[in-house]
Amino acid sequence: MGHGVQVQDLPGIGKRYDLDLGQRAGRISVVVRNDGNRDLYVFTGQSGDPTAVVELTEEQARKLGALLGGTFFEG
């Protein structure tokens, strides 16, 4: 994986990718489950518990990915 991204296997669930956003902004963990759903964990550094957790279906994750990647600009 690229610099600043760590991968962790979660047997029976899927894989987790941890992304460092730099000192102030916090960090994000993405869990890609075997069933295709994704969990987006957002940490803003208040504690070890996540600030927000969003569950996305495969379809929603693809849309969000396209938006974040800057390739989705319909209408």
Closest approach of other proteins to the CB of residue 61, in Å: 15
- Return the residues of window 41-60 that contact other proteins according to CB under 8 A: 41, 43, 45-50, 53
3-state SS of the chain is CCCCEEEEEECCCEEEEEEECCCCCCEEEEEEECCCCEEEEEECCCCCCCCEEEEECHHHHHHHHHHHHCCCCCC
C-beta closer to other proteins: residue 6 or 60: 6
Using CB under 8 A, list all residues that contact other proteins: 4-6, 8-13, 16, 18-20, 23, 26-27, 29, 31, 33-35, 39, 41, 43, 45-50, 53
